[in-house]
Chains A and B, each alone.
Chain A
């Protein structure tokens, strides 16, 4: 299985919105609503921010939202804050119930 495709980097100013895409195939992202997103600040373990495409774990601000269309999932962060900086990863179950991560997207808050 190939890694999911994410843009290497995105940026935005405080208060703005940014969207990170995650493109897979009909065997993973397009197969079902089992996409997750993680935020990883430098030298820190990842933190789950979205599961099952659109759901936020308790404690995650509603500035973070997820969506999916076909083989592409998206994470939108609205009202950007400096603390949102870090690397964001998507992951998806596959048709054979394995998991695959994306290559990661570095978010810079200008």
Chain B
């Protein structure tokens, strides 16, 4: 059974750096095809994809946030870390990490298992 759980601060001040950790179980991020992504959702608004890291350490970032985001993995600890710099009140959202669906013949990047999400508020 695959599970993921996000952890990190619930409140950050403007201009600070946010660090979120996704701790997962039930799969290995060293398995060919595996990946973990981050998606956020401001209150009452749509999902927004942030970043994705693959088993081979390839990384993809949202073009609009690329300069502020860094995604890394620790395969031994079964963790993926997302950092976002220069936080602003508009970054207030629920942040989700999710497991990338992979297997023979699967072509796209979709997320079949999600964490419960962690709410982050940006305020002074």
Q: Chain A interface (Cβ within 8 Å of chain B)?
A: 1, 3, 32-36, 38, 40, 45-48, 51-52, 55, 57, 89, 91-93, 96-104
Contacts and interface: CB of A to CB of B under 8 A. Distances in A.
Contact of B110 (A45, A51, A96): A51
Given A36-B111, A51-B108, A104-B46, 15 more contacts: A3-B46, A32-B107, A32-B108, A35-B108, A45-B116, A46-B96, A47-B114, A48-B112, A57-B101, A89-B47, A92-B108, A98-B49, A99-B49, A100-B49, A101-B49
Contact of B109 (A3, A34, A57, A96): A34
Nearest to A51: B110
A47 B39 CA distance: 13
Interface stretch (B16-24, B55-63, B84-92): B55-63
Nearest to B66: A98
Contact of B47 (A38, A47, A98): A38
Interface of B: 37, 39, 46-49, 52, 60-64, 96, 101, 106-112, 114-117
Contacts, number: 76
Contacts of A35: 108
A36 B108 contact: yes
Q: 4 closest A-B pairs (Cβ-Cβ)?
A: A34-B108, A36-B110, A45-B114, A51-B110
